[in-house]
Chains A and B, each alone.
Chain A
Amino acid sequence: MEFDLSKPQKLLQKSARDVFARECPAKRVRELMATDTALDAKLWSTVADQGWLGIHLDESHGGLGLGTVDLAVVAEEMGRACFPGPFLGTVWAATLLSAAGGKSKFLEPLTTGAAKGAVALLEADGSWNPDHVQLKATAAGGGYKLTGRKAFVSDANVADTIVCVARGADGLVLLAVSAKDPGVKITPTSALDQTRKLADVTFEGVSVAADGVIATGEAARKALDHSLQVATLVTAADMLGGMQWILADSVEYAKTRQQFGKVIGSFQAVQHMCADMLLWTESSRSAIYYAAWALGAEPASAASAIANAKVYVSDASREVANRGVQVHGGIGFTWEHDLQLYYKRSKASEILFGDATYHREQVAALAFDA
């Protein structure tokens, strides 16, 4: 048994860390988050060139053929850098298309970076549970007609391809549309985390041809569930990177900032906050690495491993961010200090794919009701 990253995974970690340190410093993050898209074409092509958009996908689906642990490694480094732009939406969409069989023409451009993607799941009720999807897909010709509104869609504002989760006559339907298709209306929503944008997507009688029908019924649900697990993993790993940054930054600050003639890190009240931050960060790492491994190697445990991780990390990440600000004092509460970027991204990630309360119910259903 080896509960640690392998050598190649450690190399990947280092290379991702170096790339983001070089090409995505906090100054650049701030510039990008102030734009409507948070997208930097050069940064995007760097990530695409590395193959990270499909790092976990099969080579026959345009991926690198590595695993979900490798994906988590990259996502963690993105979180550490507060990497702006549509990575989450694109990887989620690509994973979904791949899980549904990988035959869609929309898939390869997503893994190469030629196209950006988004998955439109949530509706006005804000539910992450696919059972609650109501947006109607009406069979028409060989395809469907879509009418309705999706909300809180990550990265839709820059997406070329949007996979809409809709309800057809026989259950869920996954439909891929081009953002430019007639009747598709994308309205950016201003939100807490400016590094990853949200949008509303309205479908006004959008016609989806047969080649846009990704999956229906059971197959659609299965692919969607898997893609949700992978996207939740990406989010949790992103949070882990953020926690690690906040911990390191806070400990560093505690070692230098002086009050009462001493560095504040010599006071136990501050030390104990830092110790708790380490415990939460490392415990999150255990939960996330395990979930990443289970997702690839032990599919039967994947659902509970992901739910466990999202419960733990959602609370831990918020606590770490809070203690981080507390250790910093006034400066930690300013716009000027980079902590605010991580504080907000952490909160947005806590909400993404369901918070701890949502996932505790998933855990209960899996562990108690079975």
Chain B
Amino acid sequence: MNLLRRLAVLLSALTALSIGTATMAADLTALVANLTVGGFGEREAAIGALAASGDARAAPILEALGAGRLYVRKADKVVVIAKSEGNQLVLTDAVTGKAAGSAIEAELDRVRVNNRLRGVIDAAVGSLTLMNPDPRVRRGAAESLLKRPDPAALAALDAALAAEKDVRVKAAFSQARAAVVLASDASKADKLAALQVLRDRSDRDALSALQAAANVATDPEIKVAAADASASVRQTLAVWEAAQNVWYGISLGSVLLLAAIGLAITFGTMGVINMAHGEMVMLGAYTTFVVQDVIRTSAPHLFDASLLIALPLAFLVAGAVGIAIERGVIRFLYGRPLETLLATWGLSLVLQQAVRSIFGPTNREVGAPSWMSGAFQVGQITVTYSRLWIVIFALVVFAALILVLRKTPLGLYMRAVTQNRPMASAMGIRTPRVDALTFGLGSGIAGLAGVALSQIDNVSPNLGQGYIIDSFMVVVFGGVGNLFGTLVGALSLGIVNKFLEPYAGAVLGKILVLVFIILFIQRRPRGLFALKGRAVE
């Protein structure tokens, strides 16, 4: 009975819709006013008429009515939507949507509804969202129908489908319709067609609709077809999942690349173990924090550019600290790698504690500019903009570094000093200066990494520690002294990690990767792409 009534309302709404714009133009005020007069029977008719208007403003009014927040002001008979605030009710004019002052309960008459009417209202709101002028809202309504197919909505869907112009919304409608058809008692041919539609959609929601259909179907042919369709969907999903893992792996790999690439210079080309490398990354992240803090207080309109401003500053800060470390400590320890390791570890402790003393031990908030927040869909993969930018940024930094090493005089000197220090010195290259600049360059790049990592990690004094072991693994795995090795090493470790995660869990996956690298170093102590020749020894 109830269902029939709902259907009647829907149908009246839909026929009204198909009659066209005349009803659309009908005065909303009159329709709303009709809601407030008469008994429940008249109110039901009024709800139907309001739903039939297809007006976007009708949905919030009906929702307010269902929630018991629709009132008539006794003084001027204006229909208002009320929101309680303290012991006052804040009012909005139901028709115009403008604020209408506030009032207390006694000054208003509530428009009453009963349970049956609430059902009618729900159905009316559902059909109104299918008619909503905003295509995104319409798609959302179709998606939610797909997830919870309700046979009662079939008629509304059909009508909406006929009226729909937008191709993507239309596809969403027909897929929702397919799910609804499968849940209803439609004919066999219809159901088989619906199965095909869902099979073409092939995502998780389609899979659950198909599985539900396979479970409830009585007809053996439909049952088989549904099982077949869900198997094919599952296969497609598996492919997408692999693609997703690759993407996550690339994303993780680019983070590793950023963290390791500075190390590849200091460790790889200079042979200096810099345990304070992670702290350079941390300094970069804190530079970003300071820049954003200054921008927030003095120039909020620049916030979207904050990362761009932070990049050169982070490079300079970390680079300057790096040069200071090289001049102050490391240059006395060349040729004693184990001592260098200990001294730089000490420096990392000092830097951590310094940052802790200045900025406090808690995480600092670094905001994301608008162009880095949000996400978009590629097939079944969700790509967040922040991850995408970090991948791009890592590759840009890598390319820039290669250019510096290959095309600039500094790069030439650096390579010369790396390959044969005494000969380079004899040719007039000031090797100590080149050492300092190389170390500064490596540290500065770590600072750049810090700017990027501040977007995806907690900015705390311990930020660097989490990356130092991973970075060393990447450099050693890729082959010391070979930047392309670092690139390949970082990406392959990232991808392997992400593929292991679903089977072994995040922690065990990481352990397995570490064990793998330990074994790998035993096999090839000089890494994946080892330098050949006498320079190695």
- The answer to whether A and B come from one shared complex is no
State the A residues within 8 Å of B (CB): none
Interface residues, chain B, with chain A CB atoms under 8 Å away: none
